[in-house]
Each structure stands twice: as C-alpha cells, then as structure tokens.
Amino acid sequence: MQTIRVNEFPPTLNELNNMHFMKRAKLKEKWENIVSKACMEYGVMPIQKASITLEFWFPDKRRRDPDNYSFSAKFLLDGLVKAGVLPDDSFNEITELRIIKGGVSKPQHILIHLHEWEESA
C-alpha cells in the first residue's frame, strides 16, 4: 500500500454547482498539480490497477454528507493520472473506490491510500 497526504480539500459538489465553468476548469488544473506534487513528495510508484481509499480528516465533528465529498475523487484521481501513478482513471485501472471518514484533525487533510490490485487466479 502507498499513501499520500494532501493538506487541503478540493471543493465539494455543492461548492462546484455554484461556480462558473471557467473557475471549475482552473480548480481542476490546480488540484491535478497539488496531487501530482504530493505524489513526487511521497515517492509514489506507478501501478497498473488499484483499489483506492480516500480518507477525509475533518477539522471538527460537524455532520457532513459523504456524497458531497464524492466529487473530490474526480480531481484527486485526475491528479494521480497526471503524476503517472495510474495510466488512466477508468474502471480498467481503478477496481474499487472508497470514501471514508478518518476522524478529527487540525489541519484537515485527505489520505489517499493506493492498494495495488492483484488478480485472483
């Protein structure tokens, strides 16, 4: 397993819905760069197929809806592809995608856990 820590959160789906499309495009590029840089910093090795878990650590115990954070996966997975960690972000390369709550932490952060997928015989 390889783990990457990203010390901020991409925008939620609610935030993106209220955003101009040009601003969304710039945010996508920003997040591809953030994740790509984190991959280099953590020395993440390329893998062909992966099970990925996105673990969100929030700054407080406030109630949050997981589906609102599910769109974050788009920016994060695109960053993994840009970094060369994954060849693509299709079902052929990502066999499983999980979004879980890690707990409370200041500063808030996301842990991206990459489990190399091994085909069973």
What residues contact residue 18 under an 8 Å CB cut-off, 6+ apart? none
The mean per-residue pLDDT over the stretch 19-35 comes to 89
In tens, the pLDDT along 34-90 reads: 999 999 999 999 999 999 999 999 999 999 888 888 888 989 999 999 999 999 999
Higher pLDDT, 29 or 120: 29
> What's this model's pTM, rounded to 2 decimal places?
0.90
Domain annotation for the chain: domains and CATH numbers: 2-116 (3.30.1330.70)
Q: Is the pLDDT of residue 121 over 80?
A: no
pLDDT score of 9? 86
Cβ neighbors of 93 (< 8 A, separation 6 or more) are 48, 49, 50, 86, 87
Residue 72 and residue 3: Cα distance in Å, rounded?
Answer: 17
pLDDT value of position 120: 65
* Mean pLDDT across 29-33: 92
**Confidence category of residue 20, pLDDT binned at 50, 70, 90:** confident
